[in-house]
Amino acid sequence: MSTEAVAVITFPGSNCDDDTVMALGRLGVPVVRRWYRDRDLGEARRVVLPGGFSYGDYLRSGALAARAPIMDAVEDGVATGRLTVLGICNGFQILCERGLLPGALRPNRDGRFRCTWEWVRVATAPLHWPEFRPGTRFRLPIAHREGAFTLPRAELDRLWQEGAVFLQYCGPDGAVGDEYNPNGSMDQVAGICRGRVMGLMPHPERAVAAYLGSEDGLRFLRAWLASEGE
């Protein structure tokens, strides 16, 4: 597991940046904090875009934050292969709005904010993360109103073929079906991974202690920190 410094970006309206810093601290990982107006990430080679409601979600979740100055540095780092990126909830929305991940997160099918504990499973093993094995399950919370992943059917089928559909909502035993789909995501998609860019709607940083309801978030972050080629 890498213990190199991880940059955590704060946007106006982020509310899980401190939780992310605390979770990484529990794993002994140093953190470099960055503000949305910054224009570089320093020496950090990993970055987390945390959850929250950047710019109040007033336009479309993540749409304004995706155009923040710091995102130029993120995009450049991805383009050059220097950066490993994790977007959590609003961070996932930002990555999709920026075009660093495919698809979009539309309003939940019931139109309501959902704040529940859910099971997710690794659907396909991401190329750079050997610790994420297909079938591995995590119990993590969600907290969003716009979390239903959507993409034209043909494009989503291509993501499956590419192995980019990373996480799916599932039952406690790993079964996949619409009854375990909390928001109406196509194919129960909970997370996407392309190259070294990963996004998911559930919050691993909120599941780091038994008294919170689960410690699976630590397992998830530890696996993310174990990427190859570092």
Q: Which of 16, 97, 146, 203 is catalytic?
A: 203
- Long-range CB contacts (within 8 A, 24+) of 174-181: 174/119, 174/121, 174/135, 174/137, 176/121, 180/118, 180/119
Is 136 in contact with 206 (CB distance < 8 Å)? no
Instruction: Look up the CATH superfamily of 6-224.
Output: Class I glutamine amidotransferase (GATase) domain (3.40.50.880)
DSSP secondary structure code for residue 53 in this structure: -
Q: CA-CA distance, 123 to 190, in Å (whole number)?
A: 10
Is 117 in contact with 141 (CB distance < 8 Å)? yes
Identify the three-state secondary structure at position 140: strand
Identify the three-state secondary structure at position 88: strand
Residue 127 has a pLDDT of 85
Residue 229 has a pLDDT of 43
User: Which residues neighbour 170 within 8 Å (Cβ) at sequence distance 6 or greater?
Assistant: 119, 120, 121, 137, 176, 180, 188
Q: CA-CA distance, 161 to 172, in Å (whole number)?
A: 26
Q: Which of 16, 89, 96, 170 is catalytic?
A: 89
- Helix axis angle, 90-98 relative to 69-79, nearest 10°? 70
Question: Which tens digit of pLDDT belongs to each residue from 111-150?
Answer: 999 999 999 999 999 888 999 999 999 999 999 999 999 9
Question: Which tens digit of pLDDT belongs to each residue from 168-210?
Answer: 999 999 999 999 999 999 999 999 999 999 999 999 999 999 9
Instruction: Indicate if 89 belongs to the active site.
Output: yes
- Read off the pLDDT of each residue in 73-82 and give the average, rounded to a whole number: 97
Band of residue 228 on the pLDDT scale cut at 50, 70, 90: low
Q: Which of 97, 170, 205, 230 is catalytic?
A: 205
Chain center to CA of 190: 9
Instruction: Indicate if 115 belongs to the active site.
Output: no
Band of residue 59 on the pLDDT scale cut at 50, 70, 90: confident
Instruction: Indicate if 205 belongs to the active site.
Output: yes
Domain boundaries, the chain: 6-224
